[in-house]
Amino acid sequence: MRINTSAVFTDAEDALILENDKPVEVLTLLKRAILADRNPDGSPIAGDEKYNRFELYMKLRSAGSDTDFSTEEIQLLEKAVKVYPTLIAGQLIYLLHNKPVNT
């Protein structure tokens, strides 16, 4: 499955979410989520999962719009992005399921 790496994110007022005066990047958000030390419930990431997350991070580092992700990788990303507030997590989950974020 491919991820729309060119998608942009909006806030609750439908304004672009910016970082350093540029639209926040999908891959940046995914990399930050996958490298988080804790699960959304605050519990630490299990040892085995840390390795899987690191492997996925390495793939994200070189990912582009043509990069294919397995179902397992998408599931791990979906779990990881839940560390973000609802609006960001929801938009990322939409992207991971190939739903349009901004219509």
pLDDT, one tens digit per residue, over 33-62 is: 999 999 999 999 999 999 999 999 999 999
Is 77 part of a structural domain of the chain? yes
- Tell me the C-alpha distance between 76 and 22, whole Å: 27
Is 53 part of a structural domain of the chain? yes
Is 7 part of a structural domain of the chain? no
Is 44 part of a structural domain of the chain? yes
Is 47 part of a structural domain of the chain? yes
For CA atoms 93, 80, 15, 66, the dihedral sign is: negative
Is 39 part of a structural domain of the chain? yes
Is 29 part of a structural domain of the chain? yes
Is 9 part of a structural domain of the chain? no
User: Is it the case that residue 6 has pLDDT exceeding 90?
Assistant: no
Contact 53, 34 (CB under 8 A): yes
Across all residues in the chain, what is the average pLDDT?
92
Q: Is the pTM of this model over 0.85?
A: yes
Please count the structural domains in the chain: 1
Please give the share of the chain, as a percent, with pLDDT higher than 90.
Answer: 82
Place of tokens 């840390």: 50
At 103, the pLDDT band (50, 70, 90 cuts) reads low
Task: Please give the residue range of the domain that contains residue 88.
Answer: 18-96
